[in-house]
Amino acid sequence: MSDIERHPLKPFLPPSAKVLMLGSFPPPRARWSMDFFYPNFQNDMWRVLGLIFYADKNRFVIADERRFDYEAVVRFCTEKGIAIFDTASAVRRLKDNASDKFLEIVEPTDLAALLNQIPECQAVVTTGEKATDAIVNRYGCPKPKVGSFSALTIGGRGYRFFRMPSTSRAYPLALEKKADAYRAMFKAIGMLS
């Protein structure tokens, strides 16, 4: 049986966060291009957000180095009010890869504790199937369709629970279509006009 892996990053919780975005768990460190969330250069999260907010999919890319610009990403998330963590605080990798399919959640994240630190948060957003299922199973809320939301109550507070398409290249949807889904979500919660 493989070892239990604890989350390598602290939750990113800007005080004025309006949204908490949750993936499942970071990929193995060998796949990281920066010490932050969605670090795999093959993951399109930062390209999607660059496209939505700046009409530039390479806004957060340091092209010559095939990595994301950590400082620009952190500054952007702080300014926009985007909190980020994952639905698992500890996992067991059943295969040595980044696939959610082979992740066993050993310790779910205490989302109530995170949300208590960001009182202006209005929405919880999952960025993949495993993260979505972790919330649905834990809180018994309806599972939203990809690109839509349902009601979620955590710690006595109500949130809109959005299920977004995965930004992994393994998820079969064009970058622009993923950006359209995320753009609609940010508009729905008033973070984009």
Distance of CA 145 to the CA centre of its chain: 17
Q: What is the pLDDT of residues 133-142, one digit of tens each?
A: 999 999 999 9
Q: What is the pLDDT of residue 36?
A: 97
pLDDT digits (tens, 9 = 90+) for 98-117: 566 777 888 999 999 999 99
4-188 carries CATH number 3.40.470.10: yes
| Virtual torsion, Cα 174, 45, 40, 42, nearest 10 deg | 20
- Six token digits for residue 80: 């926009």
Domain boundaries, the chain: 4-188
Range in 97-101, 153-157, 177-181 with the lowest mean pLDDT: 97-101
Provide the residue count of the chain. Answer: 193
Query: pLDDT at position 27, please?
Result: 87
Q: Which pTM was predicted? A: 0.94
AA letter at 114? L
CB burial readout 142-160, b (16+ within 10 A) else e: eebebbebbebebeeeebb
Q: 41 near 65, Cβ under 8 Å?
A: no
Of 52-56, 96-100, 142-146, minimum mean pLDDT range: 96-100
The Cβ of residue 182 has, within 10 Å, a number of other Cβ atoms equal to 24
DSSP track, 3-47: PEEE-SS--B--TT-SEEEEES-PPPGGGBSSSSSS-BTT--HHH
Question: Exposed, middle or buried, 192 (CB in 10 Å: 0-12/13-18/19+)?
Answer: middle
CA distance 89 to 81: 22
